[in-house]
Amino acid sequence: RRLLRERPDDPAAHLVAAAEALSTDDPARAREHAEHALRSQPELAEAELLLARACVESGDQSCARRALNALADAPRRLRPATEALRQRLARR
C-alpha cells in the first residue's frame, strides 16, 4: 500500500496492489488495480493476466474472455498461467 501511496500513477504499483488483492480474495479490488495499470500502460501483459484472473475469480466470464483474448500474443513466460485460466473459465 505504501508503494501505491508514493507512486499512485505507477503501473507497477498497481500490479503489486492487484496481486495483493487477489491473494486476499478480493477480485473486485484486483480488477480495479489491473485496469488502472492497463490504462497507464495498455501493453502490460502482466496486468492483463491479473485482470483475467480477477474476472475469472469474480465470475465475470465476458471480462475474463476479453482479457484472455488480449493475451493471445503474451510473452512465453505467461502462457502457462494464461492456459490455466482458460481451463478454469471453460469449467465454469
The 3-class SS string of 32-52 reads HHHHHHHHHCCCCHHHHHHHH
74 touches 48 (CB < 8 A)? yes
pLDDT of 81 strictly over 80: yes
How far apart CA 30 and CA 55 sit, in angstroms, is 9
The pLDDT of residue 54: 98
pLDDT band at 2 (very low <50, low <70, confident <90, very high): confident
- Sign for the CA dihedral angle at 32, 37, 41, 46 comes to negative
For 35-78, write each residue's pLDDT tens digit: 999 999 999 999 999 999 999 999 999 999 999 999 998 899 99
The pLDDT of residue 92: 83
How far apart CA 37 and CA 24 sit, in angstroms, is 19
The pLDDT of residue 67: 96
